Amino acid sequence: MNVNTETSGNSLVVALDGRVDSSNAAEFNAALETATADSDLGVVLDCENLQYISSAGLRVILTTAKSLQSSQRKFVICTLSNPIQDIFVISGFDQIINIQGSRAEALATMEA
């Protein structure tokens, strides 16, 4: 699991690589917290290279979404592979988290 952060326009783009499961969910949480702290920009979580995410990882995304929401920051996830898109649809989280097909679309919603 790897997390890379860059600033693009008025957003923080966090690219997530590899696998997130209960063995490294705490690490993922810490990486997201570090990446999004000291900023008031909205956050795009790009999952293009995310291979697997377990429920422990979903919990981290959910907690992040909630904490950003509570400080009026936007949060968008993008570029989900089909199996990972399925996980979001089955869990119903696609209804409470903004999911976009590509990074460009995600950034466009941040401008709005």
Partner 1 sequence: MEEEQRPRKILVVDDEPDLQPLVLQRMRRGIRRGQYQFLFAGNGVEALELLRAVGDIDMVVSDINMPQMDGLTLLEQIPSVDPNIRAIIVSAYGDMANIRTAMNRGAFDFITKPIDFTDLQVTIDRTLEHLAEWRSVLKARDQLVSVQNELSIATQIQQSVLPTQLPQGAGFHLHASMEAARSVGGDFYDTIPLEGGRVGLAIADVSDKGVPAALFMMASYTLLRAAAGTPDAGRTMQEVNNVLTETNVAGMFVTMFYAVFDPVSGSLTYANGGHNPPVLLHEDGTTEQLPLTGGVALGVMSDLDYNVKSIDLAPGDTVFLYTDGIPEAINGDEEEFGMERLCTTLTAAKDRNAHDVTDCVLTDLQAFVGDTPQFDDITCLTLRFTGAVP
Per the CB < 8 A criterion, the answer to whether 1 and 20 are in contact is: yes
Q: Which of 6, 55, 101, 108 binds partner 1 (CB under 8 A)?
A: 55
Contact 87, 58 (CB under 8 A): yes
Q: Which residue stretches of 1-112 are H helix?
A: 25-36, 55-70, 82-91, 103-111
Exactly one of 93, 98, 105, 109 binds partner 1 (CB under 8 A); that residue is 93
Q: Could you give the string, one character per residue 70-89, with x where binding to partner 1 holds by CB under 8 A and - elsewhere?
A: -------------------x
Applying CB under 8 A, the residues found at the interface with partner 1 are 21-23, 25, 55-56, 58-59, 62-63, 66, 89-93, 95-96
